[in-house]
Chain A
Amino acid sequence: MLAQIDVDFRTQIINDYQGVSECKICDKPEYLARIREVAFNFFQKNGFPTQKNEEWKYTPVKPYINEPFDIDKDKSQTFDPSQANYFGQHLPGYKIVLINGKLSVEHSQIPDAALCTIQPVMDVLRKPEVQERLTKSRNYRNNPFLAMNTALFTRGVFIHIPKNTQVDKPIHLIHYEVGEGKQFNISKNIIISESGSEAEIIESYYHDYNDAVSFRNSSTEILVEPNAVLDHIKLQKSDHNLRMVEHTEVEQKEDSLYNNYTFTLPGMRFVRNNLNIELDGSNIESHMYGLYLTNEDQLVDNHTLVNHKEPNCESNQLYKGILTDKSRAVFNGKVYVHSIAQKTNAFQQNNNILFSDNATIYTKPQLEIFADDVKCSHGSTIGQLDDEALFYLRARGLSKTDAQSLLVNAFAFDVTEKLRDEEIKAMLNEEIDQVMSGVIS
């Protein structure tokens, strides 16, 4: 099934797997070899997803992967991150530098060990909590990129926030994708928020491959223990040559709170976000907020899966999109409520505005409910700015463009409003205002 892609890339994948599995000097726990084998066999047999796969129906990946990529070949020794500007640079926080997925300790500001531990994931493979994360069974059929990721990853970061600790500043991961030639970078990250802890994780992106394209296949495994709070903010803005699939698996335990904010701004040609949350305990709260502003030929796809397994939990999804030019966006959300998950509150909302006749939106909000005492709803709208509201604002003296940008901003700020981090909120609002004023004028 890998026949769909470039021969060189295919050879790379197979060689890379052999390299990973035969490596003599690597620390290779037995469990890892096993899961890699399962993942690789699946991937080799099934390959990258096609549009026949229901989860990839609107997302043809071939145009983005069919290149003679090199996998994880580091040619970035001389790279100096202090000279590279990225979106979110001025935010305060512990700057954690990841070059092509690999943790660079020398460039990073690692917080005090009492606050949290940050290590390369390859150094901690024998930790039981890491093994537990990595051996969770995963749905490869829906997520072929994850199968590839598990089979081949040799990079990534492990973040561990100890019990009852409040990390004083955000932990800011900066993903530098840098080097020469066409690169395919694979990384796997693990984040564990122990019980009662509180932390904020921000992710930013930087890409420079001297005009060559690169593909980022990243997966993140997150555990949020009882009473822990984790804010997770993705600031997806980079250049047109970066393409990526980010797969995030979150497991939450009772009384925990996880907030995911995913902002995708004009830039990257292809972004696919998978966000799967398992609510494995009662009194859990999960919030997922997404905003995508797309332009040119961008394709942005957000897939969420929320799995309510226990009673008395609440999940809430709000995804909004503004599409311009010939961009495309996909929202596919699924809420699953098991029969014992009574008193579940699950909400899902996806609203879109199209600013061009060449833009296309596909939205598919789904509910699968097996418990009767629940409050579940979803809604989805596609439309344009409300004429009535525009007239009202103009009748109060606002110019047409001002009225339009006020409404567009209000539409988008509805998502940024949910941020608890005021600095990011201000930065994003300014960015949205700037992007949209370019569209409206």
Chain B
Amino acid sequence: MLQIKNLHATIDGNQIINGLNLEVKPGEIHAIMGPNGSGKSSLASVLAGREEFEVTDGTVTYKGMDLLDMDPEIRAREGVFLAFQYPVEIPGVSNISFLKTALDEIREHRKQEPLSARDFLNRTREMQKLVQFDSALTNRSLNEGFSGGEKKRNEIFQMAMLDPSLAILDETDSGLDIDALRIVADGVNKLHTPEKAFIIITHYQRLLEYIVPDFVHVLSGGKIVRSGDKSLALELEEKGYDWLREEIATS
């Protein structure tokens, strides 16, 4: 589904992704871990198409297409979903009407009929239940005055509504208490199908107790320095990142 080859990217002239390779197949869950400043969130931003990031080398192929050549909205319509680390507050734009617009755009792009108002509302209700998202929040302005946990849950709710093929969760667990974390993880697990892939970016192993990854990658200095299965996450949890840094330095 996704092939990243030798990816290099800069922001304001600083190299932040430095020769990264990764392949994600349908149905797989990949966890990307790494210390602060290792380039985890930058990778998410590059994949979603944030304009401040300049790709200087390498390729990203998504479903056989050149992902880097697409505008952010085209990526979204093709099924790439980014759950933001810091979801923005947009006063005056209601959550629900925004979602309807986004869903209509995506369905049109996929040559699907737009959902009728009734179907849309039914789907909204169903997904709200699935991710335990308060219906009162659905009618408020987008993220405005939401707590940290509510914002993150709203991201998962939107993910459920928009039905992506590849979902990238950028530190969705940060700032969540254990109950909220469980709700978010439950949502992800319920939405996980053999067709859908997930990239889960996280600093801590905690989330991975609830969402079991097929692969764990460790990012450092803008590239993957180690890959393994879920046991790698446990090892990291135990030894911290310093251990890894030393190992790299000596190797």
B76 near A: Cβ within 8 Å? yes
Contacts A391-B50, A392-B84 given; indicate if A398 touches B73 (C-beta within 8 A). yes
B71 near A: Cβ within 8 Å? yes
Does A395 lie within 8 Å of B72, measured CB to CB? yes
CB distance from A389 to the nearest CB of B (A): 5
Does B92 lie within 8 Å of A394, measured CB to CB? no
Does A389 lie within 8 Å of B98, measured CB to CB? no
Does A399 lie within 8 Å of B101, measured CB to CB? no
Flag A374-412 by CB within 8 Å of B: 1 or 0 each: 000000000000111101111111111011001101110
Does A388 lie within 8 Å of B88, measured CB to CB? yes
A373 near B: Cβ within 8 Å? no
A54 near B: Cβ within 8 Å? no
Does B158 lie within 8 Å of A396, measured CB to CB? yes
Which B-chain residue is minimally distant from A412 (CB atoms)? B92
Contacts A402-B101, A406-B98, A411-B92 given; indicate if A394 touches B87 (C-beta within 8 A). no
| Residues in chain A near residue B73, CB distance under 8 A | 394-400, 403
Contacts A394-B72, A398-B73, A400-B73 given; indicate if A407 touches B102 (C-beta within 8 A). no
Does A417 lie within 8 Å of B98, measured CB to CB? no
Does A400 lie within 8 Å of B71, measured CB to CB? yes
Instruction: Determine which of B48, B92, B103, B105 lies in contact with A410 in the assembled complex, contact meaning CB atoms within 8 Å.
Output: B92
Contacts A407-B93, A410-B93, A411-B92 given; indicate if A398 touches B84 (C-beta within 8 A). no
Does B88 lie within 8 Å of A394, measured CB to CB? no
| Residues in chain B near residue A397, CB distance under 8 A | 73, 76-77, 102-103, 105-106, 109, 162
| Residues in chain B near residue A392, CB distance under 8 A | 84, 87-88, 90
| Residues in chain B near residue A393, CB distance under 8 A | 90, 98, 102
Does A417 lie within 8 Å of B109, measured CB to CB? no
Interface size class of B (residues with CB under 8 A): 20 to 34
| Residues in chain B near residue A231, CB distance under 8 A | none
CB distance from A140 to the nearest CB of B (A): 40
Does A394 lie within 8 Å of B90, measured CB to CB? no
CB distance from A18 to the nearest CB of B (A): 54
Q: How far apart sit A394 and B72, CA to CA, in the bound complex (Å)?
A: 6
Instruction: Determine which of B51, B91, B102, B158 lies in contact with A391 in the assembled complex, contact meaning CB atoms within 8 Å.
Output: B51
Q: How far apart sit A406 and B92, CA to CA, in the bound complex (Å)?
A: 9
A413 near B: Cβ within 8 Å? yes
Instruction: Determine which of B72, B77, B90, B109 lies in contact with A389 in the assembled complex, contact meaning CB atoms within 8 Å.
Output: B90
| Residues in chain B near residue A386, CB distance under 8 A | 88, 90
Q: How far apart sit A392 and B155, CA to CA, in the bound complex (Å)?
A: 11
Flag B102-129 by CB within 8 Å of A: 1 or 0 each: 1101100100000000000000000000
A6 near B: Cβ within 8 Å? no
Does B92 lie within 8 Å of A391, measured CB to CB? no
| Residues in chain A near residue B72, CB distance under 8 A | 391, 394-395
Does B105 lie within 8 Å of A402, measured CB to CB? yes
Centre residue among A386, A393, A414 by max chain B CB count within 10 A: A393
CB distance from A284 to the nearest CB of B (A): 28
Does B91 lie within 8 Å of A396, measured CB to CB? no
Contacts A402-B105, A406-B98, A406-B101 given; indicate if A396 touches B88 (C-beta within 8 A). no
Does A395 lie within 8 Å of B98, measured CB to CB? no
Does B76 lie within 8 Å of A394, measured CB to CB? yes
Which B-chain residue is minimally distant from A386 (CB atoms)? B88
| Residues in chain B near residue A407, CB distance under 8 A | 90, 93
Does A395 lie within 8 Å of B49, measured CB to CB? yes
CB distance from A392 to the nearest CB of B (A): 5
Does A398 lie within 8 Å of B102, measured CB to CB? yes
Centre residue among B49, B82, B98, B106 by max chain A CB count within 10 A: B98
Which B-chain residue is minimally distant from A411 (CB atoms)? B92
CB distance from A226 to the nearest CB of B (A): 35
Which A-chain residue is minimally distant from B106 (CB atoms)? A397
CB distance from A402 to the nearest CB of B (A): 7
5 cross-chain CB contacts under 8 A: A386-B88, A392-B90, A395-B73, A395-B82, A407-B90
- B residues near A (Cβ < 8 Å) are 48-51, 71-73, 75-77, 81-82, 84, 87-88, 90-93, 98, 101-103, 105-106, 109, 158, 162
Give the 8 A-B residue pairs with the shortest CB-CB distance, closest first: A410-B92, A397-B76, A394-B72, A396-B102, A394-B73, A410-B93, A397-B106, A397-B105
Q: A386-B90, A397-B105 are in contact. List 14 more A-B contacts (CB 8 A).
A: A392-B90, A394-B76, A396-B158, A397-B102, A397-B109, A398-B105, A399-B71, A400-B73, A402-B101, A402-B105, A403-B73, A406-B93, A407-B93, A410-B92
